[in-house]
């Protein structure tokens, strides 16, 4: 018997990506979809590539406690999830894709590579941000070796800015352009620093391509290393992680776009002192940065194979 999943917030790119994954999943079925702006339309009419005639509803916060599904995924803009969670039953399993609960210690932070066992035992899971996932995966093996504050220079495709029109997803503004934004105190900088327990500087940018993230990390280590040792450190750290690829080459977005995988590599050491290092991490912001990571969390909280629906 299949487990059921419901989606609140089916209008965005992440909601669409998650629906696609759920329709292909061997052990899950879609119970219902809610979106105020799309209510009354079928999923197929909104997303022609998704062969599903299920009618999209408009489920209010007051109604949410009376709706049934084994897992409810909240995929709404920041600041809205709490209005739904407030009225939910304590027994309802919830995965929130927004930033609303990423700093709430009563929720489990849903980065499976770091919190897998806790996710399996939790009914309240906060899905990490896309940039935050990329930077944490790139820095986690270095945490015990850092000297000072590392810096992360990130570039994302414009799908990360969502469907609501803005300067960060305006094709004319982005054409032939690279747009820096929120260069101090970005919510993902706060999220990364909070979750790693170590201050991080984060510099986000958006480019004219649609999907994918590339982050270049610059850090100083407490002891000198060479590139071979740095590469080995990451290989050993992620040796058992099915979705994390460690490579000597510099990862490129086209290698991970459209996949649930993350790639880390391009390890470089400043030979003048052996302590200043750089590396690059890439992933798909809509998948490993959001929807496929949410699916990992759905699988874990339901006690099924973490990678079900994600194996090619």
Q: Quick one: pLDDT at residue 10? A: 80
Per-residue pLDDT, averaged over 188-202, amounts to 97
Contact 180/212 with Cβ under 8 angstroms? Answer: no
CA distance 75 to 91: 19
Report the pLDDT value the prediction gives residue 283, as an integer from 0 to 100: 98
> What would the pLDDT profile of 213-238 be if each residue is shown by its tens digit?
999 999 999 999 999 999 999 999 99
Average pLDDT over residues 28-47: 92
- Mean pLDDT over the full length of the chain: 95
Rounded mean pLDDT, 274-296: 98
Is residue 130 annotated as part of the catalytic site, yes or no? yes
**Model-level pTM?**
0.96
Note the pLDDT tens digit of each residue in 75-111.
Answer: 998 999 999 998 898 889 999 999 999 999 999 999 9
What would the pLDDT profile of 17-34 be if each residue is shown by its tens digit?
Answer: 999 999 999 999 999 999
In angstroms, the CA 95 to CA 111 distance is 12
Cα–Cα–Cα angle for 41, 130, 282, rounded to 5 degrees: 120
> Is 130-283 a CATH 3.30.70.360 domain?
no
**Where do the structural domains in the chain lie, given as residue ranges?**
3-127+290-302, 130-283
Distance CA 215, CA 130 (A): 11
pLDDT at residue 51, rounded to an integer: 82
Burial 25-46 (b: 16+ CB within 10 A, else e): beebebbbbbbeebeeeebeeb
Whether 312 has a pLDDT exceeding 80, the answer reads no
pLDDT-derived band at 270, boundaries 50, 70, 90: very high
Task: State which CATH number among 3.40.309.10, 3.40.50.720, 3.60.15.10, 3.40.50.2020 fits the domain covering 3-127+290-302.
Answer: 3.40.50.720
- Mean pLDDT along residues 265-280: 97
Q: Mean pLDDT throughout 112-133? A: 97
Residue in 130, 192, 253, 287 annotated catalytic:
130
Mean pLDDT (whole number) for 140-161: 96
């Amino acid at each position: 018997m299949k487990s059921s999943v419901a989606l609140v917030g089916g209008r965005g790119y992440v909601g669409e990506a998650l629906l696609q994954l759920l329709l292909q999943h061997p052990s899950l079925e879609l119970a219902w979809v809610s979106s105020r702006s799309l209510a009354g339309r079928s999923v197929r009419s909104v997303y022609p590539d998704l062969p599903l005639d299920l009618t999209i509803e408009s489920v209010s916060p007051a109604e949410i406690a009376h709706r049934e599904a084994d897992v409810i995924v909240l995929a709404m803009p920041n600041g809205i999830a709490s209005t739904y969670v407030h009225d939910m039953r304590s027994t309802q399993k919830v995965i929130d894709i927004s930033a609303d609960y990423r700093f709430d210690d009563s929720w489990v932070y849903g980065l499976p590579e770091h919190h897998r066992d806790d996710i399996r035992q939790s009914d309240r899971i906060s899905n990490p941000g896309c940039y935050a996932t990329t930077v944490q995966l790139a820095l986690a093996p270095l945490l015990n070796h850092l000297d000072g504050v590392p810096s992360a220079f990130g570039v994302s495709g414009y799908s990360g800015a969502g469907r609501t029109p803005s300067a960060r997803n305006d094709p004319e503004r982005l054409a032939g352009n690279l747009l820096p934004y929120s260069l101090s105190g970005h919510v993902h900088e706060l999220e990364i620093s909070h979750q790693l327990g170590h201050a991080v500087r984060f510099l986000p940018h958006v480019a004219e391509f649609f999907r994918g993230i590339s982050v270049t990390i610059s850090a100083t280590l407490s002891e000198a290393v060479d590139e071979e040792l740095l590469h080995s450190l990451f290989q050993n750290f992620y040796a058992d992680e099915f979705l994390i690829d460690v490579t000597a080459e510099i990862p490129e977005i086209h290698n991970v776009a459209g996949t649930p995988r993350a790639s880390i590599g391009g390890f470089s050491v400043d030979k003048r002192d052996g302590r200043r290092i750089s590396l690059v991490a890439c992933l798909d912001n809509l998948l490993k940065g959001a929807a496929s990571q949410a699916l990992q969390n759905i699988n874990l909280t339901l006690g099924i194979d973490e990678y079900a629906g994600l194996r090619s």
